Structures are given as C-alpha cells and as structure tokens.
Amino acid sequence: MKKSPKENTIDNAIRKHLSGLALQAAEIIFKDPEVHAFQEHANTVSIKRLGYNDHGPVHMRKAALNAIILAKLLVESGVELSLVKDNSGTTEDSLVAITVSTLLHDLGMSIARDSHEMYSITLAMPIIERILKELYPDKIDKQVIVKATIIECIAGHMATRRIHSIEAGCVLIGDGCDMEKGRARIPTLIKSAPQIGDIHRYSASAIDKLRIRKGKDKPIRINVEMSESVGFFQIEEVLFPKIKFSPIKQYIELIAGVKDEDPVRYL
C-alpha cells in the first residue's frame, strides 16, 4: 500500500489532534490496505468515470481533519457532544465516531454518485465492526452506540437526511469545508469540452484558502478566501446549505470574500 506525500501530511495533522481510542482508530484505518483500495477506486470513479472532483483518500482525510477540529473547538468552548449529553459515551467515543465516519464516508463513490452515502455504509460496515471490536473488546453496548453514531454521520453527510447529533453535524460541515482549489485540479486538467456542472469545478478553483478557527462571537469561525467572485457559488450552493442543515449551525460564524475586497458575513 503506497500513500501519497499529501496523504501522509494530512495523516500527521490528524494525529496531532487525536489521542487515545480516537488516535488508535485513525491508525488502524491509515494502515488498512482494503480501506485505501476503496478510497483510491472511489477517486477513480468520481474523477474519470463521473467527472466529479476529488472523493478519494486525500478528500476523506481532509474531511476528517476538518470535522475533528470542529468538534474540538466546540468542546473547548464548553459545548457537550451528543454522546456526552445523552450520557451514552465520552468525548473520546464521539471523536472515534467522527474520525472513523469521515475517513470512510465516501467509499460509496466507488459505485455511484446517487445514494453514495448509503453505499458507503454497506461497504464500510465490516470495516467499522472490526475496528470497534478492537477498540471496545467485550463492550457490546459501546460498540453499538458508536456504530450507530458512525452510521448517522455517514448517512447525513450530503444534507439529504435529517441528522440530530452534534457529531454528525461536525462531519457534515467538515466534508463541506473541503473546497479549496486543489480538490478540482485534476478534473479541470483532464476536461476540455464544456458540460453541465462545470460551475462546480470553476467555482472550486476560485477558493484559495478555507480556515477553521476559534470564533469571536461563537465557538467556530469559518473563513473562506477566494481569488474570483465565482467562488461564492461554492459558499452559497455547497457549504452554506450544509451549515444551515447542521445541528451545529448556531455555533458557527461564516465569512467569505474575494482577496482585497470587503468580505461577506453569512452567519
């Protein structure tokens, strides 16, 4: 199993934000050749067959890093994650669910775009079960609770199904926050003839930088910097709808703008 330098860089970034069982879960996935093969094939189908942007190992890692950062900012500000609030688990359990789900959330792109989140659950289920058995041996109740949370996170990442947990809300927005121009680089290079849907590539290519950090008025601030105003399409048609649909909307500031121009505050 050969990983790209970019994958290794993001792996290391994820490691810096995790410890305990969540870090152990991440390491299991990082070393799993079956997961990597699924991630690579998902990218092949997404880019070469369907003409979409990156949905492979780099994207799934970026989504995971984003979701983990979002969750930790909430915890640091005093917001309880849902498993903690429900007395069903710990913050560590929530981070296990967030990490595993985002690293596996697009496996279904190896089959099709439509309903790919449900295909992802089918493909990921045996992987999820063996990870949880290793993390929580002899704790069937904990395996069930974390598995259910992982499934909700994967099923809800397209904002087409109502989600109710803070964990799933972090995954939903963490996925949406992977919109910098590098994600559209390969599809842009290999496409020549214009077709319906090109606005997604062009708008993604205008996003220079997205930063997730501690907010001024709320726990989280998402700052998006773009080179061209076409990038607002990504904000208004991709990211903002996911934030609006997410249980963590109330905790987010969203600011976007073209370089050297006054930014727009959405939240």
pLDDT at 13 over 60: yes
CA distance 267 to 253: 5
Percent of the chain past pLDDT 70, that is, above it, reads: 92
Beta strands 220-226 and 252-258, pairing class: parallel
Separation of first and last alpha carbons in the chain: 42
Lowest pLDDT segment from 41-50, 120-129, 154-163, 180-189: 180-189
Task: List the strands of the sheet with 252-258, edge to edge.
Answer: 207-214, 220-226, 252-258, 264-265
Please give the single-letter amino acid code of residue 125. M
Cα separation, 205 vs 29, in Å, equals 30
pLDDT value of residue 189: 46
**What pLDDT is recorded for position 191?**
54
pLDDT score of 36: 97
* Mean pLDDT to the nearest integer, 70-80: 98
Question: What span, in angstroms and rounded, lies between the C-alpha atoms of 78 and 84?
Answer: 12
Nearest to 106 by CA among 144, 50, 164: 50
**Could you tell me where the DSSP H helices lie in the chain?**
5-17, 20-30, 33-44, 57-76, 82-85, 91-104, 116-135, 140-155, 166-176, 185-190, 198-205, 232-234, 240-245
What lies within 8 Å, CB to CB, of 2 at 6+ separation is: none
**Phi/psi-derived region of residue 218, left when phi > 0, alpha when psi is between -120 and 50, beta in every other case:** beta
pLDDT of the residue at 196 = 47
Q: Where are the domains of the chain?
A: 5-176, 181-265
pLDDT of residue 50: 82
Cα-based angle 46, 47, 52 (whole degrees, multiple of 5)? 70
Pick the CATH number of 181-265 from 2.30.30, 3.40.50, 1.25.40, 3.30.300: 3.30.300
Judge whether residue 193 has pLDDT over 60. no
Sequence-separated contacts (24+) of 6-14 with Cβ below 8 Å: 6/58, 7/57, 7/58, 7/61, 10/58, 10/61, 10/62, 10/65, 11/61, 13/65, 14/61, 14/64, 14/65, 14/68, 14/99
Tokens encoding 15: 């490691």
